[in-house]
Amino acid sequence: MTEHVHDAGTHHHGQPTHEGAQQSGLNLHEDADNAVDMWDGMYRERARIWSGNPNPQLVAEVSGLKPGKALDLGSGEGGDAIWLAQQGWTVTALDVSAVALERAAAHAAETDHADRITWQQQDLTEWEPEPVFDLVSAQFLHSPLLPWREFVTSAAAAVAPGGTLLVVGHHPHGLPSWSHHHESGMFFTPEQLAGALRLDREPWFVNVLTDRARTVTGPNGESGTTLDTVLRATKHA
């Protein structure tokens, strides 16, 4: 891919991904046989895992869009949903983990925009999307129990005509040296996304399909680079 944005990395207080969990010595509960146990277990490890800041690719890609109805898939501790609400979006924040949702709602209650966010506990493997959202965002929705092709297909189906799909995840060949997940099938390239979603066909117009490098800090304070796969596409009205 051609576009490489080197982020200064100053506002990544914790990586909003599996990487962050490993950096801080968290147990990922990968032996859990269901998503609720896996992710509730992960969130219970600490009072707070992630930074609360919005993901940088969300801010980069959504800042110019006219607010409407947004869906944040795998909303975690709510940093993205709260940022979207602050930008004027009406947000549905969906996650399988009730622990994460409760924490996110408590965080939102400290802002002036809590009433713009609906928190929804839902396992995406059992979810039937309706095409009603002006924006569907899925950021680092990596889980050993959630095939990425499944969630991106559901995310695309939830976009209303004229709406925007934003998918951001780890590029499989761009993980930092300290990552334990080098061989993992949880991650995807821009090309794999394009193929899975058939982006060369109607109803999609591709605004951004690229990978972007970011500077991140490792478990021992070392500096590294991680590569984000970024897709922003518009569904024809």
Ligand X SMILES: C[S@@+](CC[C@H](N)C(=O)[O-])C[C@H]1O[C@@H](n2cnc3c(N)ncnc32)[C@H](O)[C@@H]1O
Residues lying near ligand X in the complex (CB under 6 A) are found at 16-18, 35, 39, 50, 55, 74, 76, 95-97, 100, 123-125, 139-143, 146
Identify the residue whose tokens are 């869906």: 71
Nearest distance in Å: CB 213, ligand X: 17
CB 22 within 8 A of CB 42: no
Smaller CB separation from ligand X, 187 or 204: 187
Task: Give the count of beta carbons closer than 10 Å to the beta carbon of residue 179.
Answer: 20
Nearest distance in Å: CB 182, ligand X: 17
| Closest C-alpha among 134, 189, 188, 186 to residue 164 | 134
Nearest distance in Å: CB 179, ligand X: 13
Nearest distance in Å: CB 42, ligand X: 7
| CA 168 to chain centroid | 6
Smaller CB separation from ligand X, 133 or 140: 140
d(CA 237, CA 230): 22
Nearest distance in Å: CB 166, ligand X: 11
> Residue 75 — left, alpha, or beta (φ > 0 → left; ψ -120 to 50 → alpha)?
alpha
d(CA 231, CA 209): 5
Smaller CB separation from ligand X, 65 or 104: 104
| Closest C-alpha among 35, 57, 12, 26 to residue 230 | 57
Smaller CB separation from ligand X, 140 or 204: 140
Smaller CB separation from ligand X, 34 or 203: 34
One-letter amino acid for residue 34 of the chain: N
Smaller CB separation from ligand X, 96 or 108: 96
Nearest distance in Å: CB 118, ligand X: 15
